[in-house]
Structure 1
Amino acid sequence: MLEGIEFLNKEFFWLLLLLPLAILWYVLKHKKQTAELKMSSVKGFKIAQSWLPKLKHGLFVLRLLALALLITALARPRTSDESTKTKTTRGIDIVMAIDVSASMLAKDLLPSRLEALKKVAAEFIQGRPNDRIGIVEYAGESYTKTPITSDKAIVLRSLEDIKYNNIIDGGTAIGMGLATSVNRIKDSKAKSKVIILLTDGVNNSGFIDPKIASELALEYGIKVYTIGIGTNGMALSPVNINPNGSFQYGRVQVQIDEDLLKEIADLTGGKYFRATNNKKLVEIYDEINKLEKTEIEEIKFTTYQEKYRPLVLLAALFLLLELLLRSTVFRSFV
């Protein structure tokens, strides 16, 4: 019954100590509240039993109940309903630059580098509901898959649609991928602008030098996190295309230009990571998620409902009932 009720002025409950004193006073004094007539004998009188004198103590009970209710009302019982509203005070715009060259079909990450990346990236996107995210694909060339948007459903669908195709020229144009990402995010009004650039190779294509693209990112205040994906040593990778269009796989030496990726990250204030397996890739995106936190302001609204009014009304009812009974039924006995 009292669940969810708080008392604002609990100190008034000390007044409840008056109730035992009132009961003690009533016990000591109640005999003097009725008239007494001493007679040597009542043999000549007819004795009649009445229940009214026995019920007269109920008047005192009503008064005690009224007093207890008034004290409880003074303690200000109330319930509270708390609601919260969040406001993003520091939004982040993120562009994910994804290498979609044929080498991303290598099976050193399961089921392939590209599919492992898509799964982890989807979880990363879902974990950032307050940020805008875009996707850039690159191989020998680069293009925008999805402009930065707050609609995560669109971003997730675009991510799911990413697959290797021969439309983009072969090779790995890291500079092109980074430059396209910078172009996508440079005019953003967000407090923080981030590019997550992932590749599994070396820069061997494109007409934009990665270092120039890095300096461009620095000029626009864009932080670049770089990820080199691929195991150490040899990996089962596509080496040829069969007549039916399927890939022929062979053991290929993994080559990642880690020095370049570290230089890009250091210049722009980001960080370089190496994902050698599925677990490490998950840990990398978790770490980036922690490093780039969106500041959220939580505003709490509390609605109070005062509960003392019913207690006061009930106390008044008890006092009125006592007065009524005292003036009518118990008028001759009290």
Structure 2
Amino acid sequence: MFEGIEFVNKEMFWLLLAFPLAILWYLLKHNKQTAELKISSLKGFKITNSWLPKLRHLLFVLRLIALALLITALARPQSVDVSTKTKTTRGIDIVMAIDVSASMLAKDLSPNRLEALKKVAAEFIKGRPNDRIGLVEYAGESYTKTPITSDKAIVLRSLKSIKYNTIIEGGTAIGMGLATSVNRLKDSKATSKVIILLTDGVNNSGFIDPKIASELAVEYGIKTYTIGLGTNGMALSPVAILPNGNFQYGRIQVEIDEELLKEIAEVTGGKYFRATDNKKLEEIYDEINKLEKTEIEEFKYYNYEEKYRPLVILAGLFLLMELLLRYTIFRSFI
């Protein structure tokens, strides 16, 4: 009955403690007011069994109910309808720079490094509804896969379509990937600009030095998180292409230029991470997600609706009923 109802003046319910005293007073008064007539015999009197005298206590019950309703009304029951409106007060523009060189097909992550990354990155994108995200692919050269956009469906489709291909020159051009990402963000008006750069190798191609690219990121106020992807030791990686077009795999030593990635992250105010397996990769993206939180301002609107009026009307009806019964049906018994 009172689901979703709040009482403003809860202290009024203390008045209900007077009810036991009122009941005790009524019982004592009733016993004193009951007249007794002693006669030697009832012969000559017509005896009738009437139910009306037994129901005269109903008047007192009606009055108690009316008082209980009035006390509840004094407690001011209200229903509260709360509506919320959120406002993003600080947007973040993010570019994910993804290494798509042949080594990303290594199987030290399941099913391979690239597919494992795409799965984790997709969940990261879904968890950033208020931010704009773009994608950059790089190997021996780099290009923009998706400019920064708030349309997550487009970004997710682009991410899903990323795969190793021979169109991009082979190698790992970390400087090129970082520079292209900076170029996508340099004109952004967002309060916070972030690059998540992932690679599984060393910088061995491209005509832009990674250190120069990181200086550009600093100049434009772009924070860079770097991720080294690959197990420690040997990994089953592509070593050749068979006549049927499939890759031939062999165990190759994993080499990641961690010193370079740490330097890029430190200079730009970011952080370096090492992902050696699927679980660690997920944990890294979760941590970045927590580090780069979009500030959201929440407004709450309260709509109060008073509920005491029906209680007062009902109490009045009970009192009116008591008066009518008192001066009509029960008049001769009181």
Same fold, TM exceeding 0.5?
yes
* Alignment-mate amino acid for residue 152 of structure 2: K
Match of 1:58 in 2: 58
**TM-aligned CA deviation for residue 310 of structure 1:** 2.0
CA offsets 1:212-256 (integer angstroms, 9 cap, x no match): 111111011100011111223332222222222222222333222
Match of 1:294 in 2: 294
- What is the distance in 2 between the residues matched to 1:38 and 1:270? 103
Change (3 A) 1:316 1:235: same
Change (3 A) 1:54 1:234: closer
Match of 1:330 in 2: 330
CA contact (8 A) 1:239 1:249 kept: yes
The more displaced of 219-228 and 318-327 is: 318-327
After TM superposition, list the pairs within 5 Å mapping 1:153-168 onto structure 2: 153-168=153-168
CA contact (8 A) 1:101 1:139 kept: yes
- What is the distance in 1 between the residues matched to 2:39 and 2:98? 113
* Alignment-mate amino acid for residue 136 of structure 2: V
- What is the distance in 1 between the residues matched to 2:319 and 2:34? 21
1:318 matched to 2:318? The reply is yes
- What is the distance in 1 between the residues matched to 2:331 and 2:62? 16
- What is the distance in 2 between the residues matched to 1:283 and 1:307? 51
- What is the distance in 2 between the residues matched to 1:8 and 1:31? 40
1:268 matched to 2:299? The reply is no
- What is the distance in 1 between the residues matched to 2:18 and 2:279? 69
SS at match of 1:20: helix
Is there any run of 5+ residues in structure 2 with no aligned partner, and where? none
After TM superposition, list the pairs within 5 Å mapping 1:87-106 onto structure 2: 87-106=87-106
**TM-aligned CA deviation for residue 316 of structure 1:** 0.6
- What is the distance in 2 between the residues matched to 1:233 and 1:59? 92
SS at match of 1:236: strand
Match of 1:25 in 2: 25
SS at match of 1:332: helix
**TM-aligned CA deviation for residue 114 of structure 1:** 1.0
* Alignment-mate amino acid for residue 60 of structure 2: F
**TM-aligned CA deviation for residue 158 of structure 1:** 0.7
* Alignment-mate amino acid for residue 282 of structure 2: V
CA offsets 1:193-228 (integer angstroms, 9 cap, x no match): 100011122222222221111111101110001111
- What is the distance in 2 between the residues matched to 1:126 and 1:20? 61
- What is the distance in 2 between the residues matched to 1:323 and 1:228? 87
* Alignment-mate amino acid for residue 97 of structure 1: A
SS at match of 2:178: helix
Match of 2:216 in 1: 216
CA offsets 1:45-74 (integer angstroms, 9 cap, x no match): 444443333322221221111111111111
* Alignment-mate amino acid for residue 165 of structure 2: N
CA contact (8 A) 1:34 1:333 kept: no
Match of 2:118 in 1: 118
1:256 matched to 2:253? The reply is no
What's the TM-score once normalised by structure 2's chain length? 0.91
Match of 1:182 in 2: 182
Identical-residue share of aligned pairs (%): 84
Change (3 A) 1:247 1:12: same
**TM-aligned CA deviation for residue 107 of structure 1:** 1.8
The more displaced of 301-310 and 317-326 is: 301-310
What's the TM-score once normalised by structure 1's chain length? 0.91
SS at match of 1:108: coil
- What is the distance in 1 between the residues matched to 2:146 and 2:318? 72
* Alignment-mate amino acid for residue 88 of structure 1: T
- What is the distance in 1 between the residues matched to 2:49 and 2:243? 117
1:234 matched to 2:234? The reply is yes
- What is the distance in 2 between the residues matched to 1:143 and 1:178? 10
* Alignment-mate amino acid for residue 209 of structure 1: D
